[in-house]
Amino acid sequence: MIARSRFRFTEFQLLVAPSLMAIVGLLTIFVAPRGRAEWSWTDIWVSLAFVGILFGMSLGFGAIGFRGDQVVFPVTATLAGLGLLIVQRLYPDLAALDDALAGLAQRQLIYLLAGLAVLFVTVLLRRRVIEWLRRFKYTWMILSLGLLAITYLFGTEIYGAKLWLYIGPVSIQPSEIVKITLVTFMAGYLEDKRDLVGTSWRLGFLRLPPVPYLLPMGLMWAASLSVLVVLNDLGSALLFFGIFLVMLYVASGRLLYVSVGLATFAAACWFAYRVFARIDIRVQNWLDPWQDPRDLGWQQVQSEYALASGGVLGSGLGMGRPYHIPEVQTDYVFSAIGEELGLLGSLAVLALFLILVMRGFAIGLRAQDGFARLVAVGMATIIGLQTIIIVGGVVRLIPLTGITLPFVSYGGSSLLTNFFVVGLLLNVSGLRRRSVNGGSRR
């Protein structure tokens, strides 16, 4: 399909903000510790390259005739730029603490580039991506579940959780992939069975949900959850559960499903709390990490110090000491932002995520195709829930479960998959009225 190219003016304008942030921010990081206003162009080549790629991509979107949303990409770029800044800021301090983290910044750059490429390609392929996802939904699901199983068998355990699969020098985190296939599978399945999911089954006097159609999904859900409990990845388990409930509710409109889901979830939580000691520890750490500040509560206490030290305005980029928090580059990146950019910075980051999520729902609401709109809502939910789970854990609204802050945390799998998530959102926003697979037009 040949489309006329078009200059994406709104997007181009909005990209000025992340560009300025990336350049000024990196300058600050280099100038701050020196105490003198001396810098050279080589200091900020990273940001200049980043800015160049952003505008290039925007022009590229226009060139291929992409007519989709113009807000999602600049917001994503701002968050990714912030992640870039934070890693650039942290790696000298972290490398001084631990040699293994010396290559942090370079790897983050590579992941970021690869992520942007994934985003661009996802948009470039247009409806074909959506079609593939829908047509091969069982295949993707089984493949990703298989990946989880392999991780269980051959994965590497870090901090008591088997999250990573090492293939040569590359490590991947299969749960990041599963979150996407979970959404696309459910979207496809629920869309296929749309007419049946909303109906009910009669069994004598009882009106039951259409059990045979929900059964495969229930199995899937149970399988993924149990694998995760076995793999020890509670954050992803929480995320999957949330996605599952939202998809079911949005597609069916039945509060009954949500109630049953919530009830089983509460039961599962209670069970896990009683059975696994480590969950007990997490709950204790959530309610009062100060009880055991040197051992179990150490990380959380350090994070509290960081956030509190930030105050309203923050210490300024490069002027704080967030490197005292263990794993600050992944789970606790939000605390580093809170310390150095203050309440204003942390609220701004939350606002950006909120904009992104709301924009995603809006894309879903505007989409015509039943599958695509469910995918859009699912993708927005992934970003929203993931933010809530990790930020909620960091600020101790809920127990902390290790999961990344999308686009900002360090981590290859997370960056790549989240850029794919945004790519799908953009992709759906760009779909024309003709629906996928030539399906019915309403």
Partner 1 sequence: MMSVLRATSLLLFFTLVGFGLLVGGDSDDARWLALLGTGWLLLLVAFWPSLPASLPTFNRTAIRTAFLLATVFAVLSVQLVRIQVVRSEATVTRRALDPVTGDAVTNPRVIESDLDVERGRVFDRNGSVLADSVRSGDVYRRVYPEPESAYVVGYYSPLLYGRDGLEATYDAELRGDEGTNALVRWRNDLLHQPQEGLDLHLTLDARLQRTAHELLADRPGAAVVVDVETGAVLVLASNPHYDPNRLFTASPPEREAAHGYWQTLTSDPASPLLLRATDASFTPGSTFKVVSAAAVIDAGFASPETTYEDDGSFEVDGRVIPENENRPDDSTIWTLREGMAWSLNIVFAQVGLALGPSVLRDYGDRFGFDEEIPFDLPLVESQLASDDEFLDERPALAETAFGQGQLLASPLHMAMVAQCVANGGQMMRPFLVDHLRNEEGDVVERTEPSVWREAISPDAAAQIEEMMVGGIERGVAAGAAIAGLRVGGKTGTAELGEGQEPHAWFIGFVGDPEPRYAVAVFLENGGAGMAGSLAIGRELLAAAMAGTP
For partner 1, the binding residues (CB under 8 A) are 32, 198, 246, 249-253, 287-288, 290-295, 297-298, 301-302, 304-305, 307-312, 315-316, 319-321, 324, 338, 342-343, 346-347, 350, 353-354, 357-358, 361, 364-365, 370, 373, 377, 380-381, 384-385, 387-388, 391-392, 395-397
Q: Take residue 68 and report the two structure tokens written for it.
A: 């989709």
Minimal distance, residue 326 CB to partner 1, in Å: 12
Separation between Cα atoms, residue 403 and residue 390, nearest integer Å: 6
Q: How many residues does the chain have?
A: 442
8 Å CB contact between 427 and 419: no
State the nearest-atom distance from the C-beta of 62 to partner 1, in Å: 29
* In the complex, minimum distance from the CB of residue 239 to partner 1, in angstroms, rounded to a whole number: 13
- CA gap 31, 21 in Å, rounded: 15
In degrees, to the nearest 5, what angle opens at C-alpha 335 toward C-alphas 379 and 298?
A: 120
DSSP characters for 73-94? HHHHHHHHHHHHHHHHHHHHHH
Task: Please say which residue, 164 or 213, places its beta carbon nearer to partner 1.
Answer: 213
Q: What is the closest distance, in whole angstroms, from the C-beta atom of residue 263 to partner 1 in the complex?
A: 18
Pick between residue 19 and residue 429 the one whose CB is nearest to partner 1: 429
Strands 201-203 and 156-158: unpaired
Handedness of CA 77, 83, 89, 92 (dihedral sign): negative
Smallest separation, CB 249 to partner 1 (Å): 6
Quote the least distance from Cβ 291 to partner 1, whole Å. 7
Q: Name the CA dihedral angle for 314, 319, 320, 324, rounded to a multiple of 10 degrees.
A: 170
How far apart are CB 90 and partner 1 at their closest, in Å? 16
Q: What is the DSSP letter of 328?
A: T
Residue 3 contacts residue 126 (beta carbons within 8 Å): no
Do the beta carbons of residue 110 and residue 47 sit within 8 Å? Answer: no
Q: How far apart, in Å, do the first and last CA atoms of the chain sit?
A: 23
